[in-house]
């Protein structure tokens, strides 16, 4: 590893792309790629916990993914259940959280998600969050509706609405914004993921399909992150002076 362990991003968000193409290139059904993708989740969750990452957020299933063939959606829901049955969270002292329009999920999946959240609630090494039935446009629309309702009911003055109020109404209100956003699979887009939260995140795109994304690939992403200067709107000189 050619990077500083003292400068590990505290929050890494990942768009896990390429499962279907990985399977197709091997002459397999897309579900085979999703199964392999679950193994990658286990690998990266363990590695991030070992490195000292505090928050890992994984784009698992978007609201747009409901438009996929029904058999693929059913297989994905089954994999969600399977992935939550192992003890990776307890072994690594990882807390599990979920964000998204959970009410659209099958009842058995909702129940398992809630059970896993409760079972891991006291774990404090890292928080691993899956974005399931999630999209930023859904999340922001939902936040706007909640804020409007608070104003209508007299709970909130319209002039008091600022970034912090919006943050409080987002499903991610328990986590800091991502320091690093990784997208696997070669595509160069954000796909409706954490649009508000990644305003100043560092973006890293790689061609590696998610099932092949391993500790070495993660290390390369972190090394790239550490080679950048995060300015948050300031000049390079200002940041350098602050670091002295």
Active site residue ranges: 17, 65
Positive/negative CA dihedral, 167, 168, 169, 174: positive
CA dihedral 63, 67, 70, 72 (to 10 degrees): -70
Measure the CA–CA gap between 213 and 52, rounded to whole angstroms: 19
Angle at the Cα of 140 (from 136 to 142), degrees rounded to 5? 115
* Structure tokens given for 36: 């392999």
Q: Give Cα separations from 53 to 68, 101, 178, 179, 189 (angstroms).
A: 33, 26, 11, 11, 24
DSSP state of 27: T
* Structure tokens given for 191: 């796909």
The contacts of residue 50 (CB under 8 Å, 6+ apart) are: 92
- Please answer whether residues 14 and 190 qualify as being in contact, where contact means their C-beta atoms are separated by less than 8 angstroms: no
Where do the H-state alpha helices sit in 126-226? 136-152, 163-169, 215-226
Angle at the Cα of 147 (from 141 to 150), degrees rounded to 5? 145
């Amino acid at each position: 590893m050619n990077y500083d362990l003292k400068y590990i991003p505290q929050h890494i968000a990942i768009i896990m792309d390429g499962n279907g193409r990985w399977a197709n290139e091997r002459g397999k059904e897309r579900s085979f790629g999703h199964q392999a993708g679950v193994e990658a989740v286990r690998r990266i969750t363990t590695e991030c916990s070992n490195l000292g990452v505090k928050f890992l957020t994984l784009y698992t299933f978007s609201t747009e993914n409901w438009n996929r063939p029904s058999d693929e959606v059913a297989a994905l829901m089954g994999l969600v259940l399977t992935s939550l049955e192992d003890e990776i969270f307890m072994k690594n002292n990882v807390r599990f959280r979920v964000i998204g329009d959970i009410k659209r999920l099958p009842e058995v999946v909702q129940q398992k998600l809630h059970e896993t959240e409760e079972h891991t609630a006291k774990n404090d090494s890292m928080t691993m969050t899956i974005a399931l039935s999630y999209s930023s446009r859904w999340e922001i629309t939902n936040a706007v509706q909640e804020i409007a309702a608070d104003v209508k009911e007299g709970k909130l003055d319209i002039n008091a609405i600022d970034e912090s109020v919006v943050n409080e109404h987002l499903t991610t209100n328990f986590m800091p914004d991502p320091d690093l956003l990784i997208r696997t699979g070669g595509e160069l887009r954000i796909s409706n993921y954490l649009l508000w939260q990644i305003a100043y995140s560092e973006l890293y795109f790689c061609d590696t399909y998610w099932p092949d994304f391993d500790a070495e690939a993660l290390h390369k992403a972190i090394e790239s992150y550490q080679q950048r200067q995060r300015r948050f709107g300031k000049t390079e000189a200002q940041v350098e002076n602050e670091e002295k």
